[in-house]
Amino acid sequence: MSLSWPTEPVRPSLVLFAAILLSFACGFALYRRHFTGLASIPGPYWASFTRLWQVYHIFIGDHNLCSISLHEKHGYFVRIAPEEVSVSHPDGPRIILQALLRKGDWYRIFAVPDFRFKTPQSTLDAKAKIKRSKLFLSGFSLSNLLKSEQYYDANIGQLLNWMDAHAAEHRPMHLDKFFSYTAFDNAGEAVFSQSFGFIAKGEDIDGSIENSRYLNRYLGIAGYFYWLHVLLVANPIMTWLGIMPIGHVFRTSKTALQKRRADPDARFDIIAHWLRTQKQAPDQLSDREIESQATLSVAAGSDTLSCALQSFVYHMIKHPASWRRARAEIREAQAKGHCTDRVISYHDSQELVYVQACLSEAMRMFGPSPFGLARVAPPGGLRIGDQYFPKGTVLSINPQVMQRSKDCWGPDAHEWNPDRWLIGHAGAKYKFFLVYGMGYNRCPGEHLAQLQLSKIAATLVRDYNICQVDPTNEWVCKTFLNCVPHSWPVYIEKQQDTEQR
């Protein structure tokens, strides 16, 4: 006796539907690859069909290395998605970033905490973005930030205390963590007139910084699936429940903001500027918009500064002649009565020409921004060099690709050479230096980053010798929305003349 399962014949209508669906999918894929005006642009095969190729490399954290490799293989233009082309042509920054082109849809991900609350970062239209940014820019001015320099110095002093302790005990130190603690706390000082306490404790309180790393990966990917992000995460229900991915950082900032509002004697910090703007134009700036911008400012200020400081120290100790030359420059300044405070002042740091050149070179070699700066070709299309791009093409410029371009930086573009910033017309080099972006979407926190970088870098060179525990070890770095290297522990040695000062 044999058993058999009862079966029903497959309905012809289902077969027809499946065939139509498959035909449509194949036709759509073929259209994307061959009929969007980008068929001649080289790039990964699967990237011409689907965005998933790019998303995969963001997920595993090597999309910056892929971009650099692809441009070295294919040249100025690489197709990295069905409707997106990565550009490394020397004219690219001027034509794409300095023009008032609409930003790519990916930027919508910066609507915080959900789609209802636009920020300058999430605003796509150039003119609307400029108008929205003006509501916040006064708080980020250098003159305003310098009013809090003594408070940044207090946090930097805590960093130096930890370095002194590790030096005294000859313990390996993970600078990446302590740089992040310092940057996070100084962002709190700049925005809210209060430190979060990370560097004082020397630990990641409540996993806030670690959580931002996971958020980095999520935002990098979710920006390409914005409809799904809104459906599942960035909607009023999830905001009310407080379980959105950016919720931890948002709650941290919101708590700090509430505490700041309750302190009428606080100094005139970034929040004070925004509250004054809100009072003058209450219909243009809501409480939630202030909360959103404060959240983004704090989140962006930690990892980016940590990466830049790590890049400086990492490359400088790999090239000890640069460290010695920078220290000699500081010694000359000390002989003239400058650079004598425990934390070198911003004013004094700006006179250290070679130190500044080393900072620029470190960020050129490896900066915190691995994501393509995306703009959309306008009606009528756009021409770069001898290549035409039709209307609607997303054109992106990856800072790390541009800053390794031999066309822009010369045949030694992949080599460490701080002197490149000291010869010729230095201003011309900055048109390819995209660490802070360019044009109307330039990073508003640039002055705060430069202020801290200059002070910390100069002080470390003056006061310490730093070497890797294993000189052959290379740092580990996963690049998502930002770059945050890690896993290159160092030994700290304090200079004897510093101990006597």
Which amino acids are annotated as binding site for heme, given as ranges? Answer: 443
Instruction: Give residue for tokens 């790590």.
Output: 310
267 phi, psi to nearest 5 deg: -70, 170
- Residue 183 contacts by C-beta under 8 Å, 6 or more apart in sequence? 301, 302, 303, 304, 305, 306, 309, 452
- Residue 59 contacts by C-beta under 8 Å, 6 or more apart in sequence? 217, 221
Binding-site positions: 443
Whether the CA torsion 124, 251, 203, 343 is positive or negative: it is positive
CB-based burial of residue 195 (10 Å sphere; 0-12 exposed, 13-18 middle, 19+ buried)? buried
What dihedral angle (degrees, nearest 10) is formed by the CA atoms of 252, 258, 263, 264?
130
What dihedral angle (degrees, nearest 10) is formed by the CA atoms of 102, 106, 110, 112?
110
State the helix-helix crossing angle for 63-74 and 52-60, rounded to 10 degrees. 130
Of 264, 254, 263, which Cα lies nearest the Cα of 297? Answer: 254
3-state secondary structure of 394: strand
State the helix-helix crossing angle for 208-222 and 52-60, rounded to 10 degrees. 170
Whether the CA torsion 277, 282, 288, 289 is positive or negative: it is negative
- E strand or H helix that includes residue 137: none
Are the C-beta atoms of residues 416 and 71 closer than 8 Å to each other?
no
Instruction: Give the separation between CA 41 and CA 47, rounded to whole angstroms.
Output: 11
The DSSP-derived string for 357-385 is: HHHHHHHHHS-S--S-EEEE--TT-EEET
- E strand or H helix that includes residue 426: helix 426-429
Bridge partner list, 307: none
Instruction: Give residue for tokens 């009929």.
Output: 35
Structure token digits, residue 342: 């425990």
Structure token digits, residue 376: 């959309």
Structure token digits, residue 282: 């209450």
Residue 270, amino acid: I
Of 438, 361, 443, 440, which Cα lies nearest the Cα of 403? Answer: 361
